[in-house]
């Protein structure tokens, strides 16, 4: 098999300087294209990671059923998954193992910002493009050429949390911010802090915590002591559930506007029932935005019996984005696909199914038209309520 491996590499060399038409002839015998889906499947982020992998599989299956990569003679997407175990060190070693043990065309991952920061160091070194929905600002501030951040950024999330508060509790000037202390929480909370200062709000608490904690009681005591009119938690699902449960136990009634992740999962509504209703959050994507997102949700529900959570919805979109780039590159070579991703301008189909209706990357690799949406639990479902031009329901003011 050695000669077969060296041929595409030789064919791809001219493609870097000439238009990418040099590769297809050598590539046309490719029967499958390896795309790595790197997510945490164990540890405290296992549940989000599992939903993301489910979405990546659904995307690959749908692409393959639609005829695969036509420019490569109908080559199928072969999804290669690995468990990042919710751990930075494992993320590094697993990403290295996957990228060096087989030929990978692109990576879809890694849910958590902290994990994507680490994995993208490896993909950059190995010159393999990574498409991510992680939001932390530093992802595209390192001068990397192989990272493509499709989602809005953490600073936008934080700003949107405060702006959403103006919609539901404009008279409340005292706010509390609690955040998990990895890359996601620390960058999003800074966005909240900056916007709160701009609006002249009093921040009664600005507190980091470990996302793996098992008792939110001490944190909720601190929230309660400051008597805020709005609470901005930036939390993953397990920690968010603990915070909400502890607020109820201590009878702390405060409007909650989350910075994504935590309340965006179906089980939050199931587990909290009536208590979930009224809770708001920012997100990068929402299942009810348009015909494409509704269709993605319908397909996911048919397979998994629950709605598709926000980040998993993006992961599905990214599979189509990657397939579109492979199609335009006419090659499974990572460099050619990276160059095609950089030229992406998609405003239709599943690949363009983001809130702003388009994916186009700036020179840093950011989908610069991206903006966050606001969602709310209403009558046991999560619906888009903000901004007004994409809202599907009016905001119900939290009691």
CA distance 79 to 44: 24
Phi-psi region of 23 (alpha: psi -120 to 50; beta: other; left: phi over 0): alpha
Over the range 88-115, which residues count as b (16 or more CB within 10 Å of their CB) and which as e? Answer: bebbbebbbebbeeeebbbbbbbbbbbb
Point out which residues pair with 80 in neighbouring strands. Answer: 36
Point out which residues pair with 77 in neighbouring strands. Answer: 33
For residue 166, count CB atoms less than 10 angstroms from its CB and return exposed for 0-12, middle for 13-18, buried for 19 or more.
middle
Residue 4: phi, psi to the nearest 5? -60, -35
Tokens matching residue 280? 């708001």
CB-side neighbour CA atoms (13 Å) of 300: 29
In the chain, list all ranges with CATH 3.40.50.2300: 2-152+289-360, 154-283+373-386
- pTM to 2 decimal places: 0.92
Handedness of CA 9, 10, 13, 18 (dihedral sign): negative
Task: Please tell me the class of the 154-283+373-386 domain.
Answer: alpha beta
pLDDT at 398: 80
β 280-283/381-386 pair status? unpaired
Consecutive 10-residue averages of pLDDT for the chain (399 residues): 34 34 51 98 98 99 99 98 98 99 98 99 99 98 99 96 94 97 97 96 98 97 98 98 98 97 97 97 98 98 98 99 98 99 96 95 98 98 97 91
Query: For residues 175 and 202, is the Cβ–Cβ distance under 8 A?
Result: yes
pLDDT at 3: 37
Give the helix, strand, coil percentages of the chain, each rounded to 5.
45, 20, 35
pLDDT at 399: 66
pLDDT at 17: 32
Tokens matching residue 398? 């939290």
Over the range 214-242, which residues count as b (16 or more CB within 10 Å of their CB) and which as e? Answer: eebeebbeebbebebbbbbbbbbbbbbbb
Query: Which residues, 6+ apart, have CB-to-CB distance to 205 below 8 Å?
Result: 176, 177, 178, 222, 223, 225, 226, 228
Tokens matching residue 226? 């400051």
Q: Rounded to the nearest 10 degrees, what angle do helices 113-126 and 88-101 cross at?
A: 30
The CATH code belonging to domain 2-152+289-360 is: 3.40.50.2300
CA distance 305 to 251: 33
Q: Which long-range contacts (CB under 8 A, 24 or more apart) does 356-361 make?
A: 357/290, 359/150, 359/317, 359/321, 361/148
Query: For residues 385 and 355, is the Cβ–Cβ distance under 8 A?
Result: no
Asked if the bond preceding 387 is cis, omega within 30° of 0, the reply is yes
Alpha helices, H only, the chain: 2-17, 24-27, 46-65, 88-101, 113-126, 154-168, 183-198, 217-226, 237-249, 266-272, 291-304, 310-329, 334-342
């Amino acid at each position: 098999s050695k000669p077969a491996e060296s041929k595409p590499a030789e064919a791809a060399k001219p493609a870097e300087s000439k238009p990418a038409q040099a590769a297809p002839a050598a590539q046309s015998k490719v029967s499958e294209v390896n795309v790595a889906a790197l997510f945490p499947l164990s540890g405290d982020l296992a549940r989000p990671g599992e939903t993301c992998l489910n979405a990546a599989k659904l995307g690959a299956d749908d692409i393959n059923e639609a005829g695969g990569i036509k420019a490569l003679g109908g080559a199928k997407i072969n999804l290669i998954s690995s468990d990042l175990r919710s751990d930075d060190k494992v993320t590094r070693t697993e990403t290295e193992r996957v990228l060096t043990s087989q030929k990978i065309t692109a990576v879809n991952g890694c849910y958590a910002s902290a994990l994507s920061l680490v994995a993208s160091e490896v993909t950059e070194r190995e010159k393999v493009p990574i498409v991510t929905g992680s939001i932390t600002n530093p992802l595209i501030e390192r001068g990397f050429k192989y990272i493509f951040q499709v989602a809005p950024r953490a600073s936008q999330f934080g700003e949107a949390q405060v702006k959403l508060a103006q919609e539901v509790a404009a008279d409340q000037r005292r706010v509390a911010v609690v955040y998990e202390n990895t890359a996601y929480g620390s960058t999003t909370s800074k966005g909240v802090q900056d916007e709160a200062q701009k609006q002249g709000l009093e921040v009664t608490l600005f507190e980091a915590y470990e996302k793996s904690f098992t008792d939110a009681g001490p944190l909720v005591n601190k929230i309660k002591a400051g008597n805020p009119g709005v609470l901005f938690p930036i939390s993953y699902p397990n920690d968010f559930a603990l915070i909400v449960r502890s607020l109820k136990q201590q009878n702390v009634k405060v409007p909650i506007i989350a910075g994504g992740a935590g309340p965006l999962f179906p089980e939050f509504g199931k587990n909290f029932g009536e208590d979930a209703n009224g809770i708001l959050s920012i997100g990068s994507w929402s299942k009810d935005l348009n015909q494409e997102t509704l269709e993605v949700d319908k397909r996911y529900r048919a397979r998994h019996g629950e709605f598709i959570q926000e980040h998993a919805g993006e992961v599905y979109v990214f599979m189509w984005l990657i397939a579109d780039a492979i199609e335009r590159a006419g090659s499974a070579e990572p460099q050619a696909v990276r160059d095609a991703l950089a030229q992406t301008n998609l405003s239709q189909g599943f690949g363009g199914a983001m809130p702003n209706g388009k994916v186009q990357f700036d020179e840093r690799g950011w989908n610069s038209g991206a903006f966050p949406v606001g969602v709310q639990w209403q009558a046991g479902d999560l619906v888009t309520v903000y901004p007004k031009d994409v809202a599907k329901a009016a905001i119900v003011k939290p009691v």
